[in-house]
Structure 1
Amino acid sequence: MGKIVKLKDGFVGEKQINIPVAILDKYICQGEFLKSLYLTHIGFFPKAFFHFRERKKGCADNILFYCLSGKGYFNTPLGSFELNANQYTVLPAGIAHRYQADINDPWTIYWIHFSGEKLAEFNKMNDATRFNCAIDIRYNEQIIQLWEQMYYAIKSGYTRENFGYANMCLYHFLSLFVFPISIERQVEEDLVTKTVRFLKLNIERPLTVENIATHFSYSISYFSALFRKETGRSPIEYFIQLKIHYACQLLDQSSLKIKEIAQKVGYEDAFYFSRQFSKIMGCAPSHYKIMKK
């Protein structure tokens, strides 16, 4: 019988930064304000097949997991829990734990580790043990946006300014989980919000309007009319714009070649991608990359 595969990272499409201790000491732990609460690790694992970690003595940091899709499981001294889409958990520092993705429907998760001199006070003030289970949370685009701001601030370089910005974002990011009632709209998610989320999760796919309408169990004509009424654009026009905006991020923040970026946003033909890019941005991707340097 084959050995069970267990991976702590290395997933296709993952994003991850583990800040070296020496860097934390240099830029954060010497500052009275920043050392109160700060990021130590940050990551995004899409469809993390065979993801597994076990820490029998716990971790020095709090760990927050936000599940966007799929599911996984975690165990602590408080019990065994299943984490599904639109749920989160916080594993407090120093508590033994084990977590893993589901074999058949592995989770897609955003996660952070955070620590600091005020971590114990943070946990006490917010009764951290109440977060040590699977907690429902409405989808909130701000969560993803703030995670990206923290990630790309640190990714752009280890400087005091970047860490300062990322760690100020951390407080806002945590507040969306700790105090969700104040920011959640008390209405059902509308079709456009669901559609935009679906498109962002499938940015690398060449979806058709039929694919999108079928996903939400609508006819093509009804879905297209409803989407255009709310946004002023067709679903495919909107999807193309999302793809091009994401391509701009990759041009700004990565060293990927234009052909590789085209593939990441669902275009096998780099020349066709360039034409679509030029139509929306007013210049070719190669020119855009030069201008942003």
Structure 2
Amino acid sequence: MDYTMVEEKSSTLVSDFAMKNFRIKDGFSGELQINIPREIVINKLRKKQFLGNLFITHIGFFPKAKFHFRERPFGCADNILIYCAEGKGHYQTEQAEHTLLPGQFFMLPPGQFHMYQADLKNPWSIYWIHFSGDMLKTFNHLIKADDFVAPTKVKNEIKIIEQWSDIYSALSAGFEQSNLTYANLSLYKLLATFVCPIEFIKPLADEDPISRSIAYMKANIHLPLTVQELAARQNLSGSHFMIRFKSKTGTSPIDYLIRLKIQFACQLLKQTDLRVNEVAEKTGYQDVFYFSRIFKKYTGVPPTKFRHTAPRRS
């Protein structure tokens, strides 16, 4: 976590920016975050034909990110896209000050000053992604990226979360070339969903409730979800939901959810130095001993042994 005590600044930005408080870069309860290692970016993305055109460098989800704050005086080398699912936040560019509300996104081009912060009273929950590449300048020209610096309403929130979750799941499984290729080809579809006019996207007449449930599971891996809650979100009874879910996936909703949680826990154990109780919390388990039993049941080894025997990602 990056905690910095800041002094009050003279600024015309909304008062939230001018208040003395702790400002936090990351480390929020329930957050999801993957930072692609530099050597992976260079050797498996930037040097690869086609993949080097546009590729993901960082991706994450910060739920109810109280005191979240970032300031980059000289901007960033990447495009930064932030989508607000809940709450609100405020941000400043060289040109203007803005407030981001639920169902809106903004995209910042590289190399320009920016500062953004969660609202103090109603902090945002955000899905975000950094991407770069040899064709980034061409991409920004093509889509008129400056049009998306201001808050922009999205047209299909469910599809955005589904597509983000697919990318995150691919990268969380590791940095093998197949995972990187899938995730970065999927980036194009995600970006198109954000920036292309709605008339070119035809919504399905009847979206599959099981697919929506799976997307919700992936996006809320940090929550202790129940079958009743998942079924209610799709306006189905618990029994009918379970039958439809098993028919589509071959397994029960709870077993599917546990496998997603254990997969994410494996990633955290391999790629971070979080303690086992912290990994348990980030996967929705408040009881670390119960988490350890579940982990061993699905992997054959307890979390501590898995961490010491599994190869670590650099």
- Aligned counterparts of 1:195 and 1:23: Cα–Cα separation in 2: 32
2:203 partner amino acid: R
1:114 partner amino acid: F
Answer yes or no: is 1:53 the counterpart of 2:53. Answer: no
Distance 1:264 1:75, change over 3 A: same
Answer yes or no: is 1:167 the counterpart of 2:184. Answer: yes
Answer yes or no: is 1:23 the counterpart of 2:34. Answer: no
Consecutive unaligned residues in structure 2, runs of 5 or more? 1-6, 8-18, 247-251, 270-275, 301-309
Q: Report the equivalent of 1:219.
A: none
Consecutive unaligned residues in structure 1, runs of 5 or more? 213-222, 275-283
Task: Assess if the C-alpha contact under 8 Å between 2:106 and 2:150 holds in 1.
Answer: yes
Q: Report the equivalent of 2:265.
A: 254
Distance 1:84 1:10, change over 3 A: same
Deviation, structure 1 residue 165 = 1.5
1:82 partner amino acid: T
Q: Report the equivalent of 1:120.
A: 137
Task: Assess if the C-alpha contact under 8 Å between 1:71 and 1:107 holds in 2.
Answer: yes
Secondary structure of 1:34's match? coil
- Note the 1:1-293 alignment, pairs <5 A: 4-179=21-196, 181=198, 182-183=200-201, 185=203, 204=223, 227-228=236-237, 232-233=240-241, 244-255=255-266, 264-265=283-284, 287-290=297-300
Task: Assess if the C-alpha contact under 8 Å between 2:90 and 2:118 holds in 1.
Answer: yes
Deviation, structure 1 residue 87 = 0.9
Counting aligned pairs with the same residue, the percent is: 35
Distance 1:155 1:197, change over 3 A: closer
Task: Assess if the C-alpha contact under 8 Å between 1:246 and 1:265 holds in 2.
Answer: no
2:29 partner amino acid: V
**Over residues 192-244 of structure 1, what are the superposed CA-to-partner deviations in whole Å (9 max), with x where a residue is unaligned?**
999999897597257897x99xxxxxxxxxx89x6449x9449xx99xx6554
Task: Assess if the C-alpha contact under 8 Å between 1:55 and 1:97 holds in 2.
Answer: yes
2:223 partner amino acid: E
Task: Assess if the C-alpha contact under 8 Å between 2:221 and 2:283 holds in 1.
Answer: no
1:246 partner amino acid: L
Task: Assess if the C-alpha contact under 8 Å between 2:280 and 2:288 holds in 1.
Answer: no
Deviation, structure 1 residue 167 = 0.6
1:94 partner amino acid: G
TM-score by length of 1: 0.73
1:86 partner amino acid: G
